């Protein structure tokens, strides 16, 4: 049994089993009970921004659909553990649950780098389909099993931006000597082009830019970046987000904590996470458009990387992929599986293409 002081905490008794149709799952828990399970969530994101607020929304949904019998409280980075210690803390049982960006754990579990951000990879629609209907989540769980962690994918983001820079990037040579905050495989790619990369938690990026510790930074999408205040320090905003065409956040449970939950509570967590994924896919674009309009009004300069720059980034990624994937069989298996799934979409899209050349 789970012995941590953060173990599942329960009060009350059991009333009995209710016979409820599946259609009522979001109105009433499948099992009528007054037993309340309380869990703390250590988030890698602060609740002042969209990502941390999504974690709070998930917790609210879980509480609502469980009829209040599963009560989860989100804590900001540093309240329980620092952001970059969330995975190890969940694995050890120091905290029962975490809310994370999967890419943070790529140094320990290589396959998470694929979920955190695959350079020049498929879009969110394809990735989402692969995770739930192409074997992706099963592969991810196999990677987590040795660490005693159960993972529930909870959010997918659309393409991020290419980042914030103190000057315009006009060619690949401008990365040489540049100090930039960037994570995951994107960092390895830019290192190939001579950049000095740093992994800095989101809440610390603004100060790093302001104090000159870094000259550039990528973090997320416009509607998230706007809350971070990066435009107050640098004003060159680059596109496209070649390094993260889509990426995942998740709830991670200490495996013993997950196993102690009832099957009903487990299902309610999974349903709340699927609902949040749908919510993120639907609200992202309107929020991006509004944020970009605000940035333009504040004088932020928008740039697209040149074709020469994109080609250099793509070539560097080919090198990184060859080097990194050769080190880990599961990572290669996941990539091959994802690319096979993406090819199915490509064939469909080609047949459904509505473009035509007028006579």
CB 111 within 8 A of CB 328: yes
Choose among 342, 299, 347: nearest CA to 118: 342
Q: Which residues are annotated as a binding site for substrate?
A: 160, 181, 218, 244
CB 51 within 8 A of CB 249: yes
Q: Which residues are annotated as a binding site for Na(+)?
A: 219
Alpha helices in the chain (DSSP H): 50-65, 86-92, 111-116, 124-133, 136-144, 184-192, 205-210, 222-228, 255-260, 263-297, 307-325, 329-351
Reading the block at residue 316, the tokens are: 């560097």
Choose among 244, 255, 257, 252: nearest CA to 317: 244
Alpha helices in 49-158 (DSSP H): 50-65, 86-92, 111-116, 124-133, 136-144
Reading the block at residue 126, the tokens are: 């394809």
Q: Which residues are annotated as a binding site?
A: 160, 181, 218-219, 244
Q: Kindly give, in sequence order, each residue whose CB lies less than 8 Å from that of residue 78, ignoring residues fewer than 6 positions away.
A: none
Instruction: Report the 10 Å Cβ neighbour count for 92.
Output: 13
Distance (Å, whole) CA 201 – CA 199: 7
Burial of 303 (0-12, 13-18, 19+ CB in 10 A): middle
3-state class (DSSP) for residue 60: helix
Distance (Å, whole) CA 178 – CA 157: 27
3-state class (DSSP) for residue 73: strand
Q: Kindly give, in sequence order, each residue whose CB lies less than 8 Å from that of residue 129, ignoring residues fewer than 6 positions away.
A: 341, 345
DSSP 242: T
Distance (Å, whole) CA 59 – CA 57: 5
């Amino acid at each position: 049994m789970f012995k941590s002081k953060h173990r599942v905490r329960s009060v009350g008794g059991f009333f009995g089993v209710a016979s409820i149709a599946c259609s009522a799952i979001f109105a009433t828990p499948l099992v009528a009970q007054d037993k309340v399970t309380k869990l703390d969530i250590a988030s890698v994101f602060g609740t002042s921004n969209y990502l941390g607020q999504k974690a709070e929304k998930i917790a609210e949904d879980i509480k609502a659909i469980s009829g209040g019998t599963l009560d989860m409280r989100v804590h900001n980075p540093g309240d329980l553990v620092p952001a970059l210690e969330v995975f190890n803390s969940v694995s050890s049982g120091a905290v029962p649950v975490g809310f994370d960006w999967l890419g943070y754990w790529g140094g320990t579990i290589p396959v998470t780098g694929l979920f955190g951000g695959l350079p020049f990879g498929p879009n969110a629609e394809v990735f989402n389909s692969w995770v739930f209907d192409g074997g992706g989540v099963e592969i991810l769980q196999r990677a987590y099993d040795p660490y005693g962690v159960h993972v529930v994918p909870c959010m997918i983001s659309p393409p991020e931006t290419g980042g914030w820079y103190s000057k315009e990037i006009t060619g690949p040579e401008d990365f040489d000597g540049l100090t930039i905050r960037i994570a995951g495989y994107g960092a390895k790619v830019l290192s190939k082009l001579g950049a000095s990369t740093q992994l800095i938690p989101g809440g610390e990026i603004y100060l790093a830019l302001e104090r000159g510790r870094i000259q550039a930074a990528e973090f997320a999408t416009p509607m998230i970046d706007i809350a971070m205040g990066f435009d107050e320090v640098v004003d060159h905003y680059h596109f496209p987000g070649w390094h993260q065409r889509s990426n995942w956040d998740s709830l991670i449970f200490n495996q013993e904590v997950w196993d102690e939950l009832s099957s009903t509570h487990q299902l309610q967590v999974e349903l709340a996470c699927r609902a949040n994924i749908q919510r993120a896919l639907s609200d992202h674009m309107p929020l991006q458009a509004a944020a970009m309009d605000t940035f333009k009004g504040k004088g932020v300069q928008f740039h697209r990387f040149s074709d020469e720059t994109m080609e250099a980034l793509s070539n560097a990624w080919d090198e990184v992929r060859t080097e990194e994937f050769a080190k880990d069989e599961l990572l290669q298996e996941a990539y091959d599986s994802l690319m096979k799934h993406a090819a199915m979409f490509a064939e469909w899209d080609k047949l459904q293409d509505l473009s035509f050349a007028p006579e």
